[in-house]
Amino acid sequence: MSDRFSLEGRVAIITGGGTGIGRGTALVLAEHGADVVLAARRREPLERTANEVRALGRRALTVPTDVTSADECQQLVDETVAELGTADILVNNAGGAETKSIRKWTEDEWHQVLAVNLGSVWFLSRAAAAVMLEKGKGSIVNISSGASLVAMPQAAPYGAAKAAVNNLTGAMAAAWTPKGIRVNTIAVGAVRAASLLDDAARYGLDPEAIGMLNGSGRLGEPDEIGYGVLFFASDASSFCSGQTLSINGGPGPSGV
């Protein structure tokens, strides 16, 4: 049954692939046989992660990409197919936002948060689906957030965008699952990644204390999200589509 988790011969595109959850996911998928394409704006972190993937014996391609641009998303898919032959898996991991009270957000910041967290999923999923539909098989995994499921005033635009990703996941699954493309979402909790650590430092908070709010009493590690992605990307989840899976350490005293 372990072969159900094999990604041998498959190509995975991972946005936000240079650091945090993207890096952790890239290494997990590579360990299970996938070649990976890493996309983000900054080339240097992408190359560092790509070298780690190559050390595992897998191919790695880096494509600096602004995922808020439909044209650049299409170019990412086109370059993937040109260099590695196909695209079997898409991990829409790019995202993030500042935290501040609702009245302090500017109009431009609102649009940017929606573009990074929601627009990128729309543009890149449609581009990758065109390749997957031709062969009648593929898997799209969206990285959402626990903020999509609860009221968090300090992260209102981000939570709204991620809630829309959950809904879009279901819509795409309904459209494409009969044609061989499964689409699922992971709603992540507090994970040891630069975005959380930077936010904690900005507000003078102890990151470990944030982790203690969940049932496991700790922060998640990026590769723990990566193993959730592996489940959805592999044939182990062949009867699963349109779902939002929470990987958040379990409910704790806060109920989150």
Kindly tell me if the per-residue pLDDT of 130 is higher than 80: yes
pLDDT for position 206: 73
C-alpha of 201 from chain center: 24
Q: How far apart are CA 105 and CA 84, in angstroms?
A: 41
Q: How far apart are CA 37 and CA 64, in angstroms?
A: 10
Cα–Cα distance list, 104 to 107, 173, 199, 249 (Å): 10, 36, 16, 31
Type of residue numbered 245: L
Burial class (CB in 10 A: 0-12, 13-18, 19+), 55: exposed
pLDDT digits (tens, 9 = 90+) for 79-96: 999 999 999 999 999 998
Least confident of 25-34, 99-108, 203-212: 203-212
Model pTM score: 0.94
Averaged pLDDT for residues 56-60: 98
Q: Which of 68, 144, 158, 233 is catalytic?
A: 158
23 or 214: which leads in pLDDT:
23
Burial class (CB in 10 A: 0-12, 13-18, 19+), 160: middle
pLDDT for position 195: 72
Kindly tell me if the per-residue pLDDT of 1 is higher than 50: no
Which two three-digit tokens encode residue 195?
A: 């975005």
**47 close to 22: Cβ distance less than 8 angstroms:** no
**25 close to 60: Cβ distance less than 8 angstroms:** no
Averaged pLDDT for residues 130-135: 98
Averaged pLDDT for residues 158-171: 97
Q: How far apart are CA 184 and CA 171, in angstroms?
A: 10
Domains of the chain, CATH where assigned: 2-190+221-247 (3.40.50.720)
pLDDT for position 2: 62
Least confident of 89-103, 129-143, 155-169, 191-205: 191-205
pLDDT digits (tens, 9 = 90+) for 186-239: 999 888 876 776 666 776 777 777 778 888 889 899 999 999 999 999 999 999
158 is catalytic: yes
Percent of the chain with pLDDT over 70: 94
C-alpha of 105 from chain center: 25
Quote the mean pLDDT of the chain: 93
Residue from 13, 242, 11 nearest 124 by CA: 13
pLDDT for position 256: 47
pLDDT for position 215: 84
